[in-house]
Amino acid sequence: MMNTRGLLDQLLKSGQQLLEKQAGGAKTGAGAGGLGGLLSGAGGGLLGGGALGVLLGSKKARKFGGKALTYGGLAALGVLAYKAYGNWQAQQANQQTATPEPQTVDRVPAAQVEQHSQAVLRALVAAAKADGHVDERERALIEGEFTRLDGDREVQQWLHAELDKPLDPAEVARAAQTPEIAAEMYLASVMMVDQENYMERAYLDELARQLGLAQGLRDELEKQARQV
């Protein structure tokens, strides 16, 4: 089985560099107001932010929301999804029976973690394309940075195929084989998109519909993303 867990964990943790870069830019006045400064020069050199910075680099006026994810990687994604589930379940006033504990990625056996990881990575790559503007230069940067993080040839071929696909929320959502995976995929997508951008917000809306997320759970997931 392909192993995307390590790559995804490093990708999420690389956001710490991105936050530090943003903070530095705000202090110096350089790069404040957006992440375009992460990609600069004719060669498109990466100044900082790691692979997540590359995925976000073309977006304008983006605020990186999932700060907690940058310190705990994949496990932190599961923790946030678990909290959202718990809050949502508590709000169900007419619940007659006890609900099972959500099996988020931080609480499943190792054999199931890869299933969660691959689905979340697919969601991240798709969300990066949601504004319709990932050009060849950005693709090359994304693939190059992912190769630096993980040299596994099978993973690289999979990533290349994901970047090549037309954006299709229904196809992305098919990776969600459990409700918890659906929640994690949506949470990761919220991290990536600019909700003030019409195309990206429309993508999120359709992804939530295809994932079958209840509105209350969706609201809780977005709340968790905003609070961290």
Q: Is 41 left (phi over 0), alpha (psi -120 to 50) or beta?
A: left
Which residues are registered as beta bridge partners of 40?
A: 45
Q: What is the pLDDT confidence band of residue 111, given thresholds at 50, 70 and 90?
A: confident
What pLDDT is stored for residue 82 in this prediction?
A: 95
Q: Percent of the chain beyond pLDDT 90?
A: 36
CA distance 95 to 91: 9
DSSP per position, 30-69: SSTTBSGGGEETTTTEE-SSHHHHHHHTT-BS-----TTH
Ordered by start, the domain boundaries in the chain are 5-227
pLDDT band at 45 (very low <50, low <70, confident <90, very high): very low
| Distance (Å, whole) CA 57 – CA 52 | 8
Helices 198-211 and 110-128 pack at an angle, to 10 degrees, of: 150
Show the tokens assigned to 194.
């600019």
CA distances (Å), origin 99, targets 92, 102, 103, 109, 116:
11, 8, 12, 20, 21
Q: CB-side exposure of 30: number of CA atoms within 13 Å?
A: 9
Average pLDDT over residues 148-164: 86
The whole-number pLDDT of residue 102 equals: 93
Is it the case that residue 31 has pLDDT exceeding 50? no
Residue 62's pLDDT band, with cuts at 50, 70 and 90, is very low
Q: Rounded to an integer, what distance in angstroms lies between the CA atom of residue 195 and that of residue 74?
A: 23
Indicate the pTM of the whole model: 0.82
CA 211-111-125 angle, to 5 degrees, is 40
Q: What value does the mean pLDDT take over residues 18-47?
A: 38
For residues 32-57, give the mean pLDDT: 40
Q: What is the pLDDT confidence band of residue 208, given thresholds at 50, 70 and 90?
A: very high
